[in-house]
Structures are given as C-alpha cells and as structure tokens.
Amino acid sequence: MMNKNITIIVGAKWGDEGKGKIAAIEAQNAKLVIRATGGSNAGHTVIYKEQKLPLHLVPGGIAYPQTTCIIGPGVVLDLEVLFEEIAFLKKCGIPDIESRLKISGRTHVTLPYHKDLDGLYESLKNKPVGTTKRGIGPTYADKSNRIGIRMYDLLLPEDELIHKIEEATKVHNQVFKANNMENCVVDCQKLGKQYHEYGETLKNYITDIEPLIFNSIKNNEKIVVEGAQAFRLDLDHGDYPMVTSSHPVVSGTLCGAALPAQALNVVIGVDKAYNSRVGNGPFPTELPASIDENGNVIKDTTPLEGDIIRDLGHEYGTTTGRPRRCGWMDCPILCSAKYTSGIDYLCLNHLDTLGEIGKKLGYVKVCTSYMYKGEKIHHYPDDIMVTGEIPEPVYETLEGGWTIDSSCKKYEDLPELAKKFVEIVEKASGIPVKYIGTGPASDDLIVREDI
Ligand code: GDP
Ligand code: IMO
Ligand code: MG
C-alpha cells in the first residue's frame, strides 16, 4: 500500500478564495509544496511575519525553510515574473531559495509572443473571456499543438533553442503580420539568445522532479499541493468558454503535479463566505455594482450591494488589479464541486468580512438552491452556456451581521449568527466546514479539530 500523505488545496468557485493562505498554513509541517496548474494568472496572498507576499508562481510554502517547493509540469511559466518573484522573496529574507525551489524540466514556458497573442485573441472576440492577458491560453495551446518551449529546451545549445522558437512562431508571425502587429513579429535569434541565458541562470532549479516526489511518498513525508484557479474556471468542467486553459479540479491538479492518486490523503476546497469572480461569464448570485463594461469602478454613485462587498472584502485582483464582481455565497456550486473534485473539507474564508457586510447592509444571504427550468435544484446545471438561462438563486436570509475579533480562536467563540451561517452552508453543500478564515493572517484561522 502506498503512504497517503498528500493534501490538495483547490478553489471551489472562480478563484481568489484564499487558497494561498491555507496552502501556506498546511505547508508549515510539509516536506514538499507543489504548484501544479496555471501560471502567472494566479495571484496568491500569503502573510509572512506580518509581511504581505503576493505570489503568482512560487508556492507560498517557500516561507517555511524545511520545505522544498516544486513548480510542476502542469504549470506554464513566465520567467520574467519568476525572476521578479525570486528577487522579492530574497529581499523578504526567505532563505535558500536556490536549493529549495525546483522546476520540472517539462514545465512549459510562456514567452512574450504568448502574451501578445492573448491580447490579440481577446481583442478579436465578440465576447471576450476577460483573461488576465498573461499568455496562459496561447502557452497551453502551443503545448497541445506540440510546438511549446519547455524548461529543458532552455538548456539546449543556443542554436537548437533558436530553431525550436523559429518552428513555434511560424504561424504566430503570420498572424501578427495579418493584424498589423509588425512590432510583435518574433526575432527568433534575439529571443533564443535571451532565453538561453535565462536557462543558464536557472539551470540549478531545473530538474527531474519525480525522484523527489517518489522519495517523499516512500518516506511518508507530507506533500501539499497549492491549487490555482478554481472549479468553475476548469477547461472541461467550468463555464466554457469563459474559463482558463488548464484543469484546476483535483484530477487535473494531480496530473499537473505528477502525483499518484493513491497517495492522496485529503482535499480541502477553499471558498469565501461571499463569492467573487473576475472576468466574464455566469455568476448566479452576483449583486449589482457600479462597474462599467470594462470592469472600471464608476465613482460618485451611491454604493450598491456589490460595491459594498467589494470594498469591505478589498476585492481587487492580485494579478491585474481589476475590481472583482461580488455576490452572495452559492451552495449549489459547492455541491457540484464536492463531487467533481472530491472535496473532503471546506475552508470558509472571510467570515469576518461577511459579518461586516451584514452590519453595513443589515442582512446577509446565502443561496441554498436554484430554480432552473421551473424546478428546484441543488447543483450547478451543465447546460447554462447553451441555454443562456442563468439559474435563479433561492436564498436564506440572516438579519444583521457580526464582529469577529482576534480573540475568536475556537468555533465556540464565534457569534451565534456567524455559526448559523456556517451551519446553513454545511447543510446546503453537504461539506463539513473544518477551517474558518477570520482574517488575512495565517493565525486568523479556526480549525475545528472535532471534524
Ligand atoms: P487565492 O488566489 O485563492 O490564493 O486568493 P487571493 O490571495 O487572490 O485572495 C484572497 C484575499 O483574501 C487575500 O488578500 C487574502 O489576504 C485575503 N484573505 C484570505 N482569507 C481571509 C479571511 O479569512 N479574512 C480576510 N479578511 N481576508 C482573508
Ligand atoms: P487564483 O489562483 C481569479 C480568470 C480570468 C478570466 C479567466 C481566463 O488567484 O485564484 P486566463 O488568464 O487564465 O486565460 O483567464 O480565468 N482567472 C482567475 N480568476 N483567480 C485566478 O487565479 C484566476 N486565473 C484565471 O479572470 O476570467
Ligand atoms: Mg488569487
């Protein structure tokens, strides 16, 4: 029998649920911490020694010196973002990054032309996805098309790398020319030379990650996987085409991390006590907000419910700074996420913020089911991108709000109304809420040991 000591953290909705925070907490007694999917579209916030670490690529577990952190083969890696991040982490006093950060040689590289293509495809679409413009889709497309550039390629002789980039950009360059983007046409010699130098800089990080993983599993060491993005953004299981280009559900996360499913111990699904989404696509519990069609906040208007949640929750993208769309907690999505990702426990963050929202509005709501095609349902319907019919939330309303201060360390310490909210979520989703976020810092977390 294989040892089972893998903890996977996944997003249960549309991202930004606070995965970085709980992943870092779980990393405190872990040996390996792995990022498995996505790229610099992710923005994960970890508070380390009262310092905010907004990370896009390096797992937050790097803050704990006993960990080895891995960027897995399922990630798409923007090296310029990575260099900035490594420099920032060093400045923050995080030790031994060179020896503790490992990058799979099979990880694909996001090159500048992927970002140019991302912008172009979005601008040509009738209904843009609202991507982060970080080149994610085009990098995964090249990977599927077998013209991707991998970390191992950066270690090849320079002329071989240049040749690979020439092959990869034949069609892309025609696309740039056809769209009057001559300035984006790739100078393969120059780019090849630059990325060959990047390979030289990163050669000690690039490795075969499997032996590290096999050893850890053999020795029953704890492995934490810091999932990125979330269930409803999954390429197969989300609101296609308003999704990302990877598989953030647990099965995709295992694949992107090169992990065997038999070694999986626990899946923690992360959500917020209210919900948010950046980019376009359905959001059944979304509340009205003063945001124009480009996502800009319209000032000088009376704040609407969505504005109040966004401001109290500081809901602005870590990666793009875009204001996030906000709405009430949606339990039917959790019911679907529970099965697709096999979620064992829920981490419910921002219970403190929801209390403040309740105090400001005089009520909080939680969607416990939907009305869809004339029927009451408890899951997220599969065909809404085809019918165009957004399910209508059925809400339970709690009157008032609550205050959670730093003295709240146990479930029993929570205000009665906050506990009532948690119980409604547990009942409607069928997932036990084992972790409750009461603030951004790593000790702002209630762990219910009895669950
Ligand atoms: P991720 O992408 O899922 O890792 O989440 P982000 O880091 O993008 O967004 C979550 C935000 O909420 C960050 O600014 C966190 O510091 C903050 N946060 C996480 N948990 C809590 C919580 O329980 N309460 C409060 N007030 N903030 C939290
Ligand atoms: P974390 O890991 C929130 C969204 C984008 C867009 C769609 C596709 O921080 O939770 P992409 O650039 O991936 O092609 O954009 O996916 N998106 C995220 N939204 N949090 C994220 O990551 C996201 N990563 C991608 O806003 O709607
Ligand atoms: Mg985020």
Q: What is the CATH number of the domain that holds 137?
A: 1.10.300.10
Separation CA 189–CA 200 (nearest Å): 17
Q: What pLDDT is recorded for position 197? A: 98
Q: Is residue 1 predicted with pLDDT exceeding 90?
A: no
- Residue 120: the pLDDT is 98
How far does residue 192's CA lie from ligand 3's centre (Å)? 32
318 lines ligand 1 (CB under 6 A): yes
Rounded to an integer, the average pLDDT of 342-367 is 98
Domain boundary among 187, 202, 217: 202
Per-residue confidence band for 406, with pLDDT thresholds at 50, 70 and 90: confident
Task: Give the closest residue (by CA) to ligand 2 atom 15.
Answer: 131
End-to-end Cα separation, the chain, in angstroms: 26
CATH number at residue 252: 3.40.440.10
| 320 within ligand 1 shell (Cβ under 6 A) | no
User: Does residue 396 surpass a pLDDT of 90?
Assistant: yes
Question: Mean pLDDT, the chain, as a whole number?
Answer: 96
Q: Please choose, from the candidates 14, 47, 79, the residue with its C-alpha nearest in 3D space to the C-alpha of residue 441.
A: 47
373 & 434 share domain? yes
Indicate which residue's Cα is closest to atom 12 of ligand 1.
Answer: 18
Q: In sequence order, what DSSP letters do the residues of 257-300 get, joined into one string?
A: HT--GGGEEEEEEEEESEEEE-SSS--TTB---SB-TTS-B--S
How much is the pLDDT for 204? 97
- pLDDT band of 291, cuts 50, 70, 90: confident
Number of domains making up the chain? 3
Name the phi and psi angles at 25, rounded to 5.
-65, -45
- Give residue 278's pLDDT: 93
* Distance from residue 42's CA to the centre of ligand 3 (Å): 5
The Cα–Cα gap between 330 and 338 comes to 13
Is residue 1 situated within a structural domain? no
Q: How many CB atoms lie within 10 A of CB 379?
A: 18
Distance 55 CA to ligand 2 centre (A): 14
Distances (CA, A) of 59 to 95, 100, 318, 421: 14, 11, 15, 31
Examine the domain organization and report whether 70 and 138 are in the same domain: no
Residues with catalytic function: 16, 44
pLDDT surpassing 90 at residue 106: yes
**Max intra-chain CA distance, the chain:** 68
**Percentage of the chain with pLDDT > 90?**
93
C-beta of residue 378 within 8 angstroms of C-beta of residue 334: no
- Tokens at 42, concatenated: 């992710």
Cβ of 285 closer than 6 Å to ligand 2, yes or no, is no
Q: Judge if 115 and 224 occupy the same domain.
A: no
Q: Which residue lies with its CA nearest to atom 6 of ligand 1?
A: 16
Which residue range is the domain that position 140 belongs to? 108-202
pLDDT tens for each residue of 175-224: 999 999 999 999 999 999 999 999 999 999 999 999 999 999 999 999 99
Dig out the tokens for 446 from the structure.
Answer: 């209630």
Residue 126's pLDDT is what?
95
Q: Report how far Cα 204 is from the mean position of its chain's Cα atoms.
A: 27
Mean pLDDT of 306-310: 96
pLDDT given at position 405: 87
How sure is the predictor about 298, in pLDDT bands with cuts at 50, 70 and 90?
A: confident
Domain boundary, last residue among 202, 218, 239: 202
Distance 119 CA to ligand 1 centre (A): 28
15 lines ligand 2 (CB under 6 A): yes
Q: What is the pLDDT of residue 318?
A: 76
Q: Tell me, what CATH number does 346's domain have?
A: 3.90.170.10
Query: What number is the average pLDDT over the span 42-65?
Result: 94
With a cut of 80, say whether residue 300 has pLDDT above it: no
Judge if the beta carbon of residue 271 lies within 6 A of ligand 1: no
294 has pLDDT over 80: no
Does residue 89's CB lie within 6 angstroms of at least one atom of ligand 2?
no
Confidence of residue 320 (pLDDT cuts 50, 70, 90): confident
Which ligand places an atom closest to the C-alpha of 442? Answer: 1
Ligand nearest to the CA of 228: 2
Asked if residue 406 belongs to a domain, the reply is yes
My answer on whether 188 and 229 are in the same domain is no
**Whole-model pTM above 0.95?**
yes
pLDDT of 249 higher than 90: yes
> Is the pLDDT score of 285 beyond 80?
yes
Q: Whose CA is nearest to atom 25 of ligand 2?
A: 41
